[in-house]
Amino acid sequence: AQTVTQSQPEMSVQEAETVTLSCTYDTSESDYYLFWYKQPPSRQMILVIRQEAYKQQNATENRFSVNFQKAAKSFSLKISDSQLGDAAMYFCAYRASGNKLVFGAGTILRVKS
């Protein structure tokens, strides 16, 4: 069974600085998809970024980028120029067989002004 591990329950970052959230996963598949979701206090789940495993290039979306290390099964999220609005819970997710998303336990990101 695929598993997703987020080893940092909480992280803090100063406004305007850069922070990296870690995620590792376990799978025997060679072709798969990975996602980062943001959950602000409103509880809404918002897709931040996705990565296709067959692509070597790391995905980027404005201030959000990933460091995808397929051999190490690592998929970290980097947030540059952190803003107060980035404060949220962040979930890493793996698209498993049967089109199901498997989520990590989440990392709470706090942004200090």
Partner 1 sequence: NAGVTQTPKFQVLKTGQSMTLQCAQDMNHNSMYWYRQDPGMGLRLIYYSASEGTTDKGEVPNGYNVSRLNKREFSLRLESAAPSQTSVYFCASSLGQGLNGYTFGSGTRLTVV
Quick check: 41 binds partner 1 (CB under 8 A)? no
What is the smallest separation between the CB atom of 111 and partner 1, expressed in angstroms?
21
Q: Which amino acid is at 49?
A: I
Binding residue (CB under 8 A) for partner 1 from 79, 86, 87, 104? 104
Pick 13 or 104: Cβ nearer partner 1: 104
Quick check: 55 binds partner 1 (CB under 8 A)? no
Pick 81 or 110: Cβ nearer partner 1: 110
Binding residue (CB under 8 A) for partner 1 from 12, 14, 44, 69? 44
Which range, of 34-42, 53-61, 65-73, 75-83, touches partner 1 by CB under 8 A? 34-42
Quick check: 99 binds partner 1 (CB under 8 A)? yes
Query: What HEC string does the chain produce?
Result: CCEEECCCCEEEEECCCCEEECCEEECCCCCCEEEEEEECCCCCCEEEEEEECCCCCCCEECCEEEEEECCCCEEEEEECCCCHHHCEEEEEEEEEHHHEEEECCCEEEEEEC
